[in-house]
């Protein structure tokens, strides 16, 4: 049998946890930087940062919601009451059967990110900080769509420059929104984007929800892994 490939994964809550799709892929060693609540600035920046430190054979990114804004801060301890930080989330993606020695991939997660998903969900700690008030006040859908496209173009360029095979996907269908910026949209390499289906629609169509009634259950993750497995080689 061939040696397993080193796979770097990034995304939001749809890409993490013991039943998530990365752990149903065959022939891979997974390093998973995905964090619940993470947006696309975190995904873009932390992927590049990780690639500067360690080598990977393949990168799989499931881009998050367009409206999420992420910020790095100088003192993450100010947000210790919030679940919407990378520090908190890095302590909640291990489970008894997971291999965490000699390397625990959660130790690779940058500890100083605050996720705007907490503002969207009106979490008290995030609201009291007022960190996102002005960011959301002065930005709307057009600016956020353009920002995501530029992040995708930027990351694809770096991956191509480093000669690292990759696959992009979306956790739900926002192809229509991305097409609203046609000049930027044409710069995406569609050969490396899987958008035939998405894990959200698979979950909804089959009623394959997790216990929370929001996130995909194990059947949806298994189905998604089967769809993208041929591309990860």
Q: Are the C-beta atoms of 99 and 142 separated by less than 8 Å?
A: no
Q: Taking the CB of residue 175, how many other CB atoms lie within 10 A of it?
A: 11
Class of domain 5-231: alpha beta
**For 43-79, what is each residue's pLDDT tens digit?**
999 999 999 999 999 999 999 999 999 999 999 999 9
Residue 122 Cα distances to 51, 125, 156, 183, angstroms? 33, 9, 33, 34
pTM over 0.75, yes/no: yes
For residues 9-27, average pLDDT: 98
Q: Shortest CA distance to 103 belongs to which of 156, 29, 50?
A: 29
Tens digit of each residue's pLDDT (9 = 90 or more) over 105-157: 999 999 999 999 999 999 999 999 999 999 999 999 999 999 999 999 999 99
Torsion of CA 195, 200, 201, 207, to 10 degrees: 150
Of 214, 219, 121, nearest to 172 by C-alpha is: 214
């Amino acid at each position: 049998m061939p040696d397993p490939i080193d796979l770097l994964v990034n995304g939001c809550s749809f890409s993490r946890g013991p039943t998530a799709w990365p752990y149903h892929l065959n022939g891979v060693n997974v390093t998973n930087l995905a964090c619940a609540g993470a947006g696309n600035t975190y995904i873009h920046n932390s992927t590049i940062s990780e690639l500067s430190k360690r080598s990977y054979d393949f990168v799989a990114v499931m881009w998050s919601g367009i409206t999420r804004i992420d910020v790095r801060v100088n003192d993450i301890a100010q947000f210790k009451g919030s679940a919407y930080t990378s520090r908190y989330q890095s302590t909640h993606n291990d489970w008894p059967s997971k291999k965490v020695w000699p390397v625990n991939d959660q130790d690779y997660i940058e500890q100083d990110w605050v996720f705007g998903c907490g503002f969207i969900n009106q979490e008290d700690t995030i609201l009291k900080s007022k960190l996102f008030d002005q960011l959301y006040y002065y930005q709307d859908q057009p600016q956020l769509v353009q920002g995501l496209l530029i992040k995708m173009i930027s990351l694809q360029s770096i991956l191509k420059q480093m000669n690292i095979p990759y696959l992009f996907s979306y956790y739900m269908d926002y192809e229509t929104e991305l097409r609203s910026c046609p000049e930027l949209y044409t710069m995406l390499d569609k050969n490396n984007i899987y958008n035939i289906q998405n894990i959200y629609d698979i979950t909804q169509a089959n009623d394959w929800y997790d216990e929370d009634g929001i996130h995909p259950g194990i059947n949806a993750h298994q189905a998604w892994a089967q769809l993208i497995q041929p591309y990860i080689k």
